[in-house]
Structure 1
Amino acid sequence: MTDAAPTPGGYAAITGEIVDIALDYPDRRAWWACFGLALLLLLSFFVSVTVLFWYGVGVWGNNIPVAWGLAISNYIWFLGIGHAGTLISAMLLLLEQHWRNSLNRFAEAMTLFAVVCAGLYPLVHLGRPWLFYWIAPYPNTMTVWPQFKSPLTWDFFAVLTYLTVSILFWYIGIVPDVASARDRARKRRTQVFFGLAALGWRGSAHHWARWRQAYRLTAAIAVPLVVSVHSEVSLLFAAGPIPGWTSTVFPPYFVLGAAFSGFAVVSMIAIVLRHALGLQNLVTPRHLDLLAKLLLATGLMTAYGYWAEVFDTLYAGEHQEMGTLLDRLGGVYAWSYWGAVVANFVPLQLLWFRRVRVQPLLLFLISLSVTVGMWFERYMLLVTTLYRDYLVSSWREYHPSFWDWSLFAGMLGVFLTLFLLFVRFLPIISSFEVKEALFEEKGKKEQAHG
């Protein structure tokens, strides 16, 4: 059963309700206010990057032994946010779950923009970012190849592959709706823009057959990438002989945590767009209920990862591992550990009740708490492990500098700017898939009464 409520006026009304948002945005004043704030944050990004390139990474709070600081912590956080879009869209497409139709388009866009932000962090973290292509295995006159044992090379392939597949999956899915916008557009420049983006789509049977093949094939490629990409990120930690990181639970722990944070952000975006654009008949309480259930399920799985990590450390009884665990529980950075535990799992328990799951404001606040809690977790995993090395002489506390925080604010600006442009100029819900689901539901009802 589809979860989108029938729209008065039939299928054409559904197309108009969705596509007309891109052609004639309903509340431009509110959009410009949000876009102005995003541009201010984006300015922070350009200023921070300029200072970073001029003076070097010494402007950050990184030191010895905390050579990885806020930049890599935020890289993992952004990359994790990007996982829910692929899970909602690609996996549920292959499972033929029609309730995804009202969520998949902006969830895919969220994935795309979050991966862009994540990919920027390793680039600006390099000493000479303009030579980032040296990481790629390309033929060169000096026959110098990348060091495939280096985590930087793993990052390059993981992020580039995930970004490429995410772009293809998102773009293939949006082509029919872009063609609808082209056909409904009245201004010449809008017709040209959507016409070029539609790639000559005319909606013929041949076009639809090829489209379905390409869409499902890309989805089948994207689903394993959800597991492989964040497993690779976890191996950046587990491959090093650092106490607190050498754990076999890290790959599933990171994947589930990424899905957990991603579903939280998708829930927040769905609630905001639902309210701002009046999409209550397309993003229904049932959608909120299902998103909340996914958030609760992945949250409980992530909580199991916390428990398993503590259990493994206590069971092994290794002195250095025990020291790291005790430091997380009551050391200098205990606030990050307990902040992650409280923010991630205490408000989450309210989602056992359906009345909370379908209440937009409560779900938004719980999702916001989870997003903040997962940021605490990434920070905790990095800093509490690195700031006390094996040698007491190497112990040193880590404190992010002003430029660490300004770059983080700037990355939020990159994400918000891209997402607001998407909301303003492109269809944010898959209208043809919503109509297809309604048509199938109507056919089933006719058969049942026939």
Structure 2
Amino acid sequence: MSDRSDILPRRQSMGGIADQLTGIPLHFPAERRWVIAMAFASALLLLLIISVTALFTRGVGIWGINIPVNWAFAIHNYVWWLGIGHAGTLISALLLLTGSEWRNSLNRFAETMTLFAVVCAGIYPVLHLGRPWYVYWMFPYPATMGVWPQFRSPLEWDIWAVLTYLTVSLVFWYTGLIPDLAAARDRATGRGWQIFFGITSLGWRGSAIHWLRWSQAYRLTAALAVPLVVSVHSEVSLLFAAGQIPGWHSTIFPPYFVLGAAFSGFAVVAIIAVALRSWFGLRNLVTDDHLDVLGKVLLATGLMTGYGYVFEVFDALYSGEAHEMRTLLDRVAGVYAWTYWGAVLFNFVPLQALWWRGVRRTGWALLLISISVAIGMWLERDMILVTSLYRDFLVSSWGKFTPTFWDWSTYLGTIGLFLVPFLIAVRLIPMISIFESKELLHEEKQEAHHG
């Protein structure tokens, strides 16, 4: 038997897999936990609504931004959320094209995570405009004054990068979901569920021509999505690297940001994987071997991100430029040194436990390490922004940044903006790919029969 049997769904029948996964939205075995989680998430979403209302009423002065720190939580959390959104596309698109079978139990909720994380990221530049009702100025339209956006500005690139990434991710997610929606439609007994799944499955009947067209569309979209993972976060890094600010002006930033995004994104995927398999009893589908692979990927991307930390130090020392040296020293021993050392501590110290196989295969241990990584990457983004800005080239322009209540409430509110639609998706759609799990089980049985 092939070694890949370790990551195959452990069910006696393919029909059992379909019944198990469609039974989650149709019969929902964790109603009480879901209601508690939804109440908590809704409270955070309400906090976001209040915060945005206050922002629109009173202006961005309610935040702690100032001169010289005119970029702070808004851009900091934008980069953090966008980074989280990258792992879903990596797991689904890249591993689909390379034929990696361990993706099949993880790709659906990872793709769903991507959509809502990108939405959370996308609202921040709009809020940061100060006058968000003029956001349409960012798009080229036939204005009578002939005014066009400044396409040489990295901020303008953000609009196109995020919208393109969101659009492709949405199409990729929905395309992969269609066969499973049809499976849920065929098993639904309630009229409401039959209508919902009947409409969303787009008339899927599973004929040969349906599978052919679907496979072509799915792989084509995956091929479009993979370079977007690299290009979008490389573009985000150019918001920093294209300027002359010490600590930002470095050629390491594009790969550094892409690897950091994968690092934080895989951490959140691991958090969701452990939570969902515990909530819904999915240990036969999200196995210890899947956690093992997630732990290995998390360790690998973490070590690559750690290389970026080392290179930043080397870059400053090798350049010998006075402002770069001063920024490096300030990050290590200055007022905000706690953000630098906090990022090092949370990102890399617990991570070393993943060298041991037993730790990688233990759900609660992987969960705690992943939470630590998510916190560490948040601190890293804060460190990159504030420590480079709060001491400008002129001493007369120096000024500290202190986040206000509204900075924190807006950030916490975006967590609600992420959780509420994600929990709704858990309630409505199969969170693990049914047809791919069945396909792997069929292939494994065929190998066992002929082996």
Aligned to 1:39: 42
* 1:166 partnered with 2:169: yes
Gaps of 5+ in 2: none
Aligned to 1:280: 283
Residue 49 of structure 1 aligns to a residue whose secondary structure is helix
Q: Are the aligned partners of 1:78 and 1:114 in contact in 2 as well (CA < 8 Å)?
A: yes
Residue 396 of structure 1 aligns to a residue whose secondary structure is coil
Q: Are the aligned partners of 1:57 and 1:125 in contact in 2 as well (CA < 8 Å)?
A: yes
- Residue of 342, 345, 358 corresponding to 1:342: 345
Matches for 1:165-314 after TM superposition, within 5 Å = 165-314=168-317
Q: Are the aligned partners of 1:296 and 1:348 in contact in 2 as well (CA < 8 Å)?
A: yes
- Residue of 389, 405, 408 corresponding to 2:411: 408
Displacement of 1:125 in angstroms is 1.1
Alignment partners' CA distance in 2, 1:422 and 1:196: 16
Displacement of 1:151 in angstroms is 2.3
Q: Which runs of 4+ in 1 moved over 6 A?
A: none
Residue 203 of structure 1 aligns to a residue whose secondary structure is coil
Residue 145 of structure 2 aligns to a residue whose secondary structure is coil
The amino acid across from 2:8 in the alignment is A
Q: Are the aligned partners of 1:135 and 1:152 in contact in 2 as well (CA < 8 Å)?
A: no
Alignment partners' CA distance in 2, 1:377 and 1:269: 22
Residue 397 of structure 1 aligns to a residue whose secondary structure is coil
Displacement of 1:424 in angstroms is 0.8
Displacement of 1:445 in angstroms is 2.5
* 1:4 partnered with 2:29: no
Q: Are the aligned partners of 1:4 and 1:283 in contact in 2 as well (CA < 8 Å)?
A: no
Alignment partners' CA distance in 1, 2:142 and 2:220: 30
Scaled by the length of structure 1, what TM-score is found?
0.98
* 1:420 partnered with 2:423: yes
The amino acid across from 2:116 in the alignment is F
Q: Are the aligned partners of 1:356 and 1:363 in contact in 2 as well (CA < 8 Å)?
A: yes
Aligned to 1:55: 58
Aligned to 2:330: 327
Moved more, 216-225 or 124-133: 124-133
Moved more, 13-22 or 145-154: 145-154
Q: Are the aligned partners of 2:246 and 2:323 in contact in 1 as well (CA < 8 Å)?
A: yes
Displacement of 1:4 in angstroms is 2.8
Q: Deviations over 1:382-408 (max 9, x none)?
A: 000000000000000000110000000
Aligned to 1:69: 72
Q: Are the aligned partners of 2:9 and 2:437 in contact in 1 as well (CA < 8 Å)?
A: no
Q: Percent identity?
A: 64
Matches for 1:72-111 after TM superposition, within 5 Å = 72-111=75-114
Displacement of 1:446 in angstroms is 2.5
Displacement of 1:442 in angstroms is 1.9
Gaps of 5+ in 1: none
CA-based RMSD of the aligned residues comes to 0.8
Displacement of 1:285 in angstroms is 0.4
Residue 63 of structure 1 aligns to a residue whose secondary structure is coil
The number of aligned residues is 447
Scaled by the length of structure 2, what TM-score is found?
0.98
The amino acid across from 2:51 in the alignment is S
The amino acid across from 1:176 in the alignment is P
Q: Are the aligned partners of 1:147 and 1:153 in contact in 2 as well (CA < 8 Å)?
A: yes
Aligned to 2:369: 366
Q: Are the aligned partners of 1:387 and 1:396 in contact in 2 as well (CA < 8 Å)?
A: yes
Alignment partners' CA distance in 2, 1:428 and 1:120: 26
